[in-house]
Structure 1
Amino acid sequence: MTLKTHPCFSEAAHLKYGRIHLPVSPDCNIQCAFCKRGINKIDQVPGCAGRVLTPREALDILGRALELCPEITVAGVAGPGDTLATDHALKTFLLIQEAYPHILRCLSTNGLLLGERVREIKEAGVNSITVTINSITAEILNEINEFVIYHNQILRGLEAQKLLIKSQLSGIRKATEETDAVIKINTVLIPGLNDGEVGDIAQAAKEAGAVMHNIIPLIPQQKMADRRRPDCEELHRAKMAASHYLDVFHHCRQCRADAAGIMGKNLDITKQLYGEDAPAPDVFSHG
């Protein structure tokens, strides 16, 4: 995959090319304390969308989006739930691969099932994978994730977090070995919690096969509503720590799961795709 036309991977491309997020994944298999998933047209945060599409509806929306904005080069799935918790995202990518083979296919996941679904990811022609890794220390992750649902079993505590960390890193390694997808990681930076291990996260991810790191400031909400966002200096330190191991994003703004358009030009076509009452946020892709 070339990164030159991927607006979420290239600072130059995000001024010229567009992307669309297709909200086809309804369920998630972990619960982050800061995550606010929802079906609404108000909240300008990741995990929210105006509605959940079927794979066929998503293909139709993509076709309409390409008519409105031919500069779109990437179709991604980043929610509202996890892309691998159901089959909807992979079915969508298969449809896109057949109908629009020139469109890059981008998948964002928490990584719990990444290793188990690598074969399907390859068959669907996924070009890039983003894995959100917020900690590689079980004790810290236990304060970030409330539970993990693994094969219909709800797991809590340190064993749940150890399973998630192991699955993320082994999944990245397997995806690197068995697909041609470029792998990026996301980390939500939480002051006083995981800010001291960003370099360690980047190192572990690089050793597994990732090539890029996107560090996202915490949005204080849900059970982390009483925490604060990291300031500019804290973000800078975290990015510098990660940069010893991976290329680091410097142009990311968190977005909804149904965003569409050219981010660098603030060209958003969400209203035209979903109706006049849909949001038109000035935001950028987080995955």
Structure 2
Amino acid sequence: MLSQSDQKVCYADEKLSTWFEELSLPVAPLCNMMCNYCTKEKDCINNGNNPAHLSRAMTPRQAVNWAYASAKRNSRIKTIRISGPGEPLYNSQTFEVLKRLNSCMPDYIYGISTNGLLLDELVKELKELNVQKVNVSLNAVSNLALMKLYSRIIVNNEIIVNSEAMATRIIESQFNGMKKCMDSDMSVKVNTIYFPGINDRELLSVASRCKELGVKSMCLIIFNPRGKFKGLRIPNPTEIAFMREELKKIIKRVEVKSFV
């Protein structure tokens, strides 16, 4: 089943007032972060993927062939993004796909969706592979909230369990990575999941710190969490609308993506 590769996201070119489409390729099966709202049984919500689906990761050859065929059929596809089902930067297949795309589809825009844990050390390689768009999942900026959201991470083949050290590593890697992306003229967008009672008081701080880096676009994600967060109350429409308006006072472009 290639459900994730079928997903196309529409976006507008503000200068041309033209609608284009973005093709997502699921080539990354492994993940280096255990989120308390995830079970690894479905696609990674952090990347903005539909958490109701489980995409079968394609091989690099399958992914590039699919991208080429899809773009041939649909001239509106202008961006090709590597997104899930796990963490793209934690999988060598991601970089193999980008190399192949550069060879056979050089005129397209390449994007990556990431949890940001490896972004700091891989920005240079992404730049060399002509990645222009980076979506970073950033759900909190305080150690306390981060320790509620995540159970463990993998860094240099070592597991760092829930701790201040884990939280500090996450936030430093994310913000250092985003800054390097911005300094390298990459477009950065932040994906933030809204959990009432967990990170709702963090969201404005997330937006403020991202704005300081020059981030101009944010996506607020709503979904029914799984794992340890299963059964957690999701924000109601009034709360979502209010939060979006508050975030727009900081970052002008705030979209809401709901999987409820």
Shorter-chain TM-score tier: 0.7 to 0.9
Q: Show the counterpart of 1:53.
A: 58
Q: Is the 8 A contact 1:184 1:214 kept in 2?
A: yes
Q: How far apart, in 2, do the equivalents of 1:28 and 1:142 lie? A: 18
2:176 maps to a residue whose letter is: S
What pairs up with 1:206-285 in 2 under 5 angstroms? Answer: 206-250=211-255, 252-253=257-258
Q: Show the counterpart of 2:175.
A: 169
Q: Match for 1:152 among 149, 157, 169? A: 157
- Pick closer, same or farther for the CA change 1:184–1:9 going to 2, 3 Å: farther
Q: Show the counterpart of 2:188.
A: 183
Q: How far apart, in 2, do the equivalents of 1:237 and 1:196 lie? A: 13
The Cα shift of 1:165 comes to 0.6
Q: How far apart, in 1, do the equivalents of 2:215 and 2:173 lie? A: 14
Q: How far apart, in 2, do the equivalents of 1:47 and 1:133 lie? A: 21
Q: Tell me, what secondary structure is at the counterpart of 2:257?
A: coil
Q: Tell me, what secondary structure is at the counterpart of 1:24?
A: coil
- Deviation string 1:97-120 (CA, Å, 9 cap, x unpaired) is 221122211101011110100111
Q: How far apart, in 2, do the equivalents of 1:129 and 1:9 lie? A: 15
Q: Match for 1:88 among 75, 93, 111? A: 93
The Cα shift of 1:252 comes to 3.3
Q: Show the counterpart of 1:269.
A: none
Q: Is the 8 A contact 2:30 2:90 kept in 1?
A: yes
Q: Which runs of 5+ in 1 are unaligned?
A: 1-5, 255-282
1:55 maps to a residue whose letter is: P
Compare relative contact order (CA 8 Å, sep 6+) and give the higher one, 1 or 2. 1
Q: Show the counterpart of 2:207.
A: 202
Q: Tell me, what secondary structure is at the counterpart of 1:34?
A: coil
Q: Is the 8 A contact 2:13 2:19 kept in 1?
A: no
Name whichever structure is richer in strand by fraction: 2
Q: Show the counterpart of 1:24.
A: 27
- Pick closer, same or farther for the CA change 1:8–1:85 going to 2, 3 Å: farther
Q: How far apart, in 2, do the equivalents of 1:149 and 1:22 lie? A: 24
Cα RMSD (Å) of the superposition?
Answer: 2.5
Q: Structure 1 stretch 31-40 or stretch 10-19: which is displaced more?
A: 10-19
The Cα shift of 1:248 comes to 2.8
Q: Tell me, what secondary structure is at the counterpart of 1:187?
A: strand
Q: How far apart, in 2, do the equivalents of 1:56 and 1:161 lie? A: 36
The Cα shift of 1:251 comes to 5.5
Q: Structure 1 stretch 185-194 or stretch 99-108: which is displaced more?
A: 99-108
The Cα shift of 1:47 comes to 8.6
- Deviation string 1:195-238 (CA, Å, 9 cap, x unpaired) is 11211101111223322111111322222111022111211222
The runs of at least 4 consecutive aligned structure 1 residues that moved more than 4 Å come to: 6-9, 11-15
- Deviation string 1:49-94 (CA, Å, 9 cap, x unpaired) is 4311121211001112123322211111110111111222122122
Count of equivalent residues: 246
1:145 maps to a residue whose letter is: Y
1:89 maps to a residue whose letter is: T
The Cα shift of 1:189 comes to 0.2
